[in-house]
Structure 1
Amino acid sequence: MPMSRRSFLAAAAVASTGALALPSGASAAGGPPPFGVTVPWGPFDAAAWSRRVATLGAAPRYALWYASFVEAPDPAKLAAVSAAGVVPVLSWEPWDPARKNQKAFALARFLDGDHDATIRRWGDALARYGGPVHLRFAHEMNAGGYPWAVGVQGNTAAQYVATWRRVHGLLRSRGATRVVRVWSPNVSFPGSAPLASVFPGAEHVDVVGIDGYNWGTVRRDSTWQSPSRVFDATAAELRRIAPGKPLLLAETASTERGGDKARWIAELFRWMAAQRDVRGLIWFDENKETDWRIASSQASLAAFREAVARR
């Protein structure tokens, strides 16, 4: 999510050519699509993951975490996640979160080649890892909350598209051909960058992600929103921009404040089950601006357990 608000193993895995095969949105039994959760750990913590599985009553099939451009690539964590039968979803953030000044990460600097060495180093590491990874580079570019976003530091939509293509081109040139390219905007809102202007093109994107949250009454300018209200308009827009591309709710969650979170969770899974192109969701399982966690209350946890038990 923006600073101000801040994959299961496919039926046929990503081929060595980088081609993508994903199942339909609903499970074979007619239940909701697969789910995932964020994981905060540095090296993959198998014991913590086992506790998470026990708490949820079902095994998540995506694990998402975040890495900045100043962090070294961690193929060992990717391999450990894959070995657990889970698809790693890596949100690769082009910035240094410890810096106050982010001018070095303006998109123009990427196009000037300032970060090519870092990108090649990551490409080499991903190639050595050799397994599939959903790579979510520079997410929420339309929302204005990050130094790579359109309208920040003089960044333009055209620069974003060119940067996306340059980064993924360099990764592939180093042999990282099993990277699933996840383009992941925030849900549209008044004043956000038009999604069509920041879409890198169908040949440069494998999966279209959507980040959307129910903020309830956490902020003075927010109200309780149903899952359909959060996602419908943006999903329809993305289907026009990228017809035929699989959709993934790459970040989602609800607050407890302002409504019934347990009911919201049940509605979310029903909404997903009705969308044939939505391949799954990843829950932002953190206590941050509000308590987004699945287990923020017993009622919330029970609703989630019931929803995933139907899979």
Structure 2
Amino acid sequence: MRRTVMVAVGAVVAIALAGLAGREAERPAPQSHDTGGTAAPASPAASPATAVARPEDVLRAGPVFGVNALNTDPASVERIATATGCRPGWVEVFSAVTGGVSAAQLAALPGVPLLALEPWQDGKVNDPRWTLARTIDGSHDAEYRRIAAEVRAYGRPLLLRFAHEMNGAWYPWGPVGKNTPAQYREAWRHVVALFDAAGATNALWVWSPNIVRGAVRTPIKEFYPGDDVVDFAGLTGYGEFEANPDATYKSTLDQLDKVTKKPLILTEVGVRPSKAKTGWLKGFGPWLQAHPRIVGFVWSMRPPGQGSRYDWRYDDSPANLAAFKDSLRQGGVAC
């Protein structure tokens, strides 16, 4: 049983979590689809029982600043903290299900891990090994159980962003081939149930579609697996040539408001270089203040050509860094 008992952790978070107090969700056990593999044992650090994480365990009194950077070692994150005057609270890392992740890797991150778990292999979009049906029928259960064992061994609350951007046709779990939104919902619930059954209840599940620009026309509500198996809603959304954040996000937030009232994380944020970039960055903080449901954001800090197509970083010029630092202050970001 996952219990999401909310407590006030500041005005912004209290508003964002309004209406969720006392909710209890019963998560069903996964159907048995044993493929013969066995899960790797948890590391020796695993406790006999892992506490059930609550959203407030990873939140602060204002929006949390997170980063997705090329280097996530303590020294690199410390340089970000020094440059911005704000220490990132979340550190996002990506892992394919086939590659897995270890408790030691998670523990080494200088912040709360936001693990983007990707069910694919070799970067192939149309891959018959990784259709949603193959997740549902249990073909990859052993791999998920191994990851769940490591998450449980890590022991502390973390954010788990599973199969993100499912409304875009660029991943094998999206609307490609014979995949359907209903299968996505079923696959999500299957994986969450596997983690819960493995005792990895320290994972907080982040459902993270792409903003509607560039995605398929299917309404995002069709992909939503249900409040009982989601702890945070998320959004991938980059500023392209819009003048301000509202122009980037409004149409998607209008849809999302009709899907769920879960607290919201911008799971990937950045702004493409253009004449509008500095103004977009200046407007980000006031925009955060106007949208208290947003409890955190993760800025993409990977250089172009090294995991990033464009230079989305906030510090590609002195003017942009200054604008970003001012937005952190105006947005009441927890530093």
Counterpart amino acid of 1:62? Answer: W
Equivalents in 2 of 1:194, 1:75: separation in Å? 36
The Cα of 1:236 is off from its aligned counterpart by: 2.2
Counterpart amino acid of 1:142? Answer: N
The Cα of 1:196 is off from its aligned counterpart by: 1.0
8 A contact 1:253–1:292 mirrored in 2: yes
| 1:236 match | 254
| 1:298 match | 318
Equivalents in 1 of 2:297, 2:209: separation in Å? 14
| 2:239 match | 214
The Cα of 1:91 is off from its aligned counterpart by: 0.6
8 A contact 2:285–2:326 mirrored in 1: no
8 A contact 1:90–1:135 mirrored in 2: yes
Unmatched 5+ residue regions in structure 1?
1-9, 28-32, 217-223
8 A contact 2:165–2:209 mirrored in 1: yes
| 2:273 match | 256
Equivalents in 1 of 2:57, 2:168: separation in Å? 28
Equivalents in 2 of 1:22, 1:246: separation in Å? 13
Alignment partner of 1:16 out of 36, 51, 65: 51
TM-score by length of structure 1 reads 0.84
8 A contact 2:131–2:172 mirrored in 1: yes
Q: Which moved more, 1:185-194 or 1:117-126?
A: 185-194
Equivalents in 2 of 1:161, 1:124: separation in Å? 23
8 A contact 1:75–1:129 mirrored in 2: yes
- Find out whether 1:34 has 2:64 as its counterpart: yes
The Cα of 1:192 is off from its aligned counterpart by: 3.1
| 1:247 match | 264
Equivalents in 2 of 1:305, 1:53: separation in Å? 11
| 1:275 match | 291
8 A contact 1:58–1:309 mirrored in 2: no
SS, match of residue 114 in structure 2? strand
Equivalents in 1 of 2:128, 2:271: separation in Å? 33
Q: Deviations over 1:186-212 (max 9, x none)?
A: 012473321111000011100000111
SS, match of residue 200 in structure 2? coil
Counterpart amino acid of 2:51? Answer: S
| 1:181 match | 205
Alignment partner of 1:191 out of 210, 216, 219: 216
| 2:154 match | 129
| 1:6 match | none
The Cα of 1:226 is off from its aligned counterpart by: 2.2
With over 3 angstroms needed to count, the CA separation of the structure-2 counterparts of 1:98 and 1:211, relative to structure 1, is closer
SS, match of residue 83 in structure 2? helix
SS, match of residue 301 in structure 2? coil
With over 3 angstroms needed to count, the CA separation of the structure-2 counterparts of 1:126 and 1:24, relative to structure 1, is closer
Equivalents in 1 of 2:56, 2:222: separation in Å? 27
Q: Deviations over 1:112-141 (max 9, x none)?
A: 111000001111111111111100000000
The Cα of 1:60 is off from its aligned counterpart by: 1.1
- Find out whether 1:66 has 2:91 as its counterpart: no
Alignment of structure 1 residues 40-189 onto 2, 5 Å: 40-41=70-71, 44-81=72-109, 84=110, 86-99=111-124, 102-150=127-175, 152-189=176-213
Supply the RMSD in Å over aligned alpha carbons: 2.2
TM-score by length of structure 2 reads 0.78
Counterpart amino acid of 1:246? Answer: P
With over 3 angstroms needed to count, the CA separation of the structure-2 counterparts of 1:34 and 1:130, relative to structure 1, is same
Counterpart amino acid of 1:169? Answer: A
Counterpart amino acid of 1:104? Answer: R
The Cα of 1:36 is off from its aligned counterpart by: 1.1
8 A contact 2:283–2:327 mirrored in 1: no
Unmatched 5+ residue regions in structure 2?
1-7, 11-49
8 A contact 1:22–1:279 mirrored in 2: no
Aligned residues: 280
The Cα of 1:213 is off from its aligned counterpart by: 1.0
With over 3 angstroms needed to count, the CA separation of the structure-2 counterparts of 1:176 and 1:254, relative to structure 1, is same
Equivalents in 2 of 1:241, 1:97: separation in Å? 33
